[in-house]
Copies of this chain bind each other. A is one copy, B any other.
Amino acid sequence: MREGDQPTVINLFLDGWGRRYKDLPDGRRQVVSFFVPGDLCDLNIFILRQMDHSIGALTPLTIAEIPRSAFEEIIDRHPRITQALWWEALVAAATQREWTMSLGQRNAAERIGHLLCELFLRLRTVGLTNGTSCPFPLTQSVLGEATGLSLVHVNRTLQDYRAAGMIVLKQRELTIPDLRALMEASMFDANYLHLDHEGRHFDANI
């Protein structure tokens, strides 16, 4: 989906990863967020006329396409789901603020460490981690586009973390032996993910 499009459905990621990104006229590209299973995108089609960014797949995807009309019916009849949609939108905004913080203030090692912590925690929340490991389909090039760093420097920073024994990353799988240590190194505070939200009780049947 490209900047300028006028989407008509809301997509729910069932399996696979995606990313939001923006391009500048001269070709520079910034990834502004990642999608993992469980994430919604394009909530804004209810209100905003057209896409101000692009969305692309990072792996083969399984997606649920929810027509706008179905969503409107849900919103009318299920206030708790509506509340969940607000949660989704507000946490996405909070995450975007945290990325702003990363790009503005954190150095290369902190940015990458912080991103790894975020993705690991988000995957764990939806049950996609396996102990201290999780799938990790992002290439170093994509990591660079997300952290505002050159591909070369991403590589060197990952090497440093590997040499320090803080991460194992190969074959598209990430292992973080000591998550707490990585969180401390990158000054990661999970509060912005709002995992203590009421969502524990979000249930369409209540």
Contact = CB atoms under 8 A, between A and B. Distances in A.
Interface stretch (A17-25, A121-129, A169-177): A17-25
A192 B94 CA distance: 17
A122 B139 CA distance: 37
Contacts of A140: none
Contact of A47 (B3, B30, B49, B197): B197
A48 B106 CA distance: 26
A66 interface: no
A52 B94 contact: yes
Interface residues of A, number: 50
A59 interface: no
A196 to B, nearest CB: 6
A52 B97 contact: yes
Interface of A: 3-4, 20, 22, 24-26, 28-30, 32-33, 43-44, 46-50, 52-53, 83, 86-87, 89-94, 96-101, 103-106, 146-148, 187, 191-192, 194, 196-198
A120 B146 CA distance: 28
A50 to B, nearest CB: 7
Contacts of A196: 49
A83 B187 contact: no
Given A53-B97, A97-B53, A103-B104, A48 B87 contact: yes
A98 B22 contact: yes
Nearest to A4: B191
Contact of A32 (B53, B90, B100, B194): B100
Nearest to A103: B103
A191 B50 contact: yes
A24 B105 contact: yes
A198 B47 contact: yes
A30 B99 CA distance: 11
B49 A197 contact: yes
A101 B24 CA distance: 9
